[in-house]
A = this chain, B = another copy of it.
Amino acid sequence: MYFPDPISKILSNYDSESPGVKTNLSRLLMHGKLAGTGKVIILPIDQGFEHGPGRAFSSNPAAYDPYFFYDIGIEAGFSAYAAPLGLLEAGAGKYAGQIPLILKMNSGNSVSKSGGAPDQAITASIEDALRLGCIGIGFTIYPGSDACHGMLEELKTLCAQAKACGLIVVVWSYARGNLSKAGETALDTIAYGAHIAALMGATIIKVKLPTDYLENELAKTEYIKNNVPKDSLADRVTHIKQACFNGKRMVVFSGGEAKDTQGIYEEAKAIIKGGGNGSIIGRNVFQRPRLQAIQMLEELIKIYTQGENN
């Protein structure tokens, strides 16, 4: 089977990468219900680490079970499943080969939140990713944090190790620290964070959907002077893709807090229209009854499949 056009086009943007990295990237792009479309939908589960199990899972106790995520990931046709070491490991043997896995390499937790700079602990290694059969690794950076330099240096090392083993690198770029609350999702901030991830060598960049707010005064001047379009969500998605090597890097957007399905669909349509590569969606999946979640995911996949005509 030769790859369909959207996949070949995406792979051609990564022509400095080794065949191993391209192979694993193609595994992501050719898996699940969006296979061959150039769009992806990824299931990320780190809310237990971030917020604690009771807060994350007590509304849907089925989610305490690691098999639940494998089952919903496979059944709903996700492109990949991303989680910390222990959670992946708990089902990696049983479900081996049935869904592409991304090992989240660092994690934060809210029980240890202190007055220091936002940071995460490294909780897994490249050897773990290989041992569990993963196609890639995930890593969070916090542009804006005083700990950012250290996080970038950790990413540099892990990114080089991962690529040397043919693994793809997904960077969660979430600005926080020396920023206003609104500034964390400002258009210039999200663009800056996404650009840093691209410069670090990320294969895929994961960011939040930006608002039309502008945080940095010097950036604001340029955005206004040069009339950067930013009124619609699709405009802003376009700008983020632009900030990622003029669209040459894949960008997926996270859903954030649980919300109504209509909101999720509207966001997906804007992502498609702006040229984004898909969604990474966790709480909106498992904090809903399973049947509702499956239906919502089917609708989402329909939107992404129909592409920009939608």
B200 touches A86 (CB 8 A): yes
Integer count of this chain's copies in the complex: 5
Interface positions of A from 111 to 126, Cβ below 8 Å from B: 111-114, 116-117, 119-125
A191 touches B245 (CB 8 A): no
A114 touches B55 (CB 8 A): no
Instruction: Type the 1/0 row for A99-143, where 1 means its CB is closer than 8 Å to any CB of B.
Output: 000000001011111101101111111011000100000000001
B148 touches A112 (CB 8 A): yes
Q: Which residue of B lies closest to A188 (CB)?
A: B54
Q: Is A178 an interface residue (CB 8 A)?
A: yes
A58 touches B223 (CB 8 A): yes
A54 touches B109 (CB 8 A): no
- Among B90, B107, B199, B219, contact of A245 (Cβ-Cβ < 8 Å): B90
B58 touches A222 (CB 8 A): yes
Q: Is A307 an interface residue (CB 8 A)?
A: no
Cα distance A113–B218 when bound, in Å?
14
Q: Is A193 an interface residue (CB 8 A)?
A: yes
Instruction: Type the 1/0 row for A178-205, where 1 means its CB is closer than 8 Å to any CB of B.
Output: 1100000001110111011011111000
- Among B117, B123, B216, B223, contact of A156 (Cβ-Cβ < 8 Å): B123
A192-B114 contact in complex given A86-B199, A219-B54, C-beta closer than 8 Å: no
Interface positions of A from 223 to 240, Cβ below 8 Å from B: 223, 225-226, 228, 239
B53 touches A191 (CB 8 A): yes
Cα distance A101–B242 when bound, in Å?
24
B225 touches A112 (CB 8 A): no
Q: Which residue of B lies closest to A227 (CB)?
A: B58
Cα distance A55–B109 when bound, in Å?
34
Instruction: Type the 1/0 row for A242-273, where 1 means its CB is closer than 8 Å to any CB of B.
Output: 11011011000000000000000000000000
Q: Is A149 an interface residue (CB 8 A)?
A: yes
Q: Is A65 an interface residue (CB 8 A)?
A: yes
A156-B122 contact in complex given A54-B243, A58-B226, A226-B59, C-beta closer than 8 Å: yes
Q: Is A85 an interface residue (CB 8 A)?
A: yes
Q: Is A277 an interface residue (CB 8 A)?
A: no
Smallest Cβ distance from A222 to chain B, in angstroms? 5
B189 touches A144 (CB 8 A): no
| Chain A to chain B contacts (Cβ below 8 Å), 26 pairs | A49-B195, A51-B219, A52-B191, A52-B195, A54-B219, A54-B223, A55-B216, A58-B225, A59-B225, A86-B199, A86-B201, A86-B202, A87-B245, A90-B245, A111-B148, A111-B178, A111-B192, A111-B196, A111-B216, A112-B143, A113-B178, A119-B149, A123-B199, A125-B157, A125-B160, A128-B160
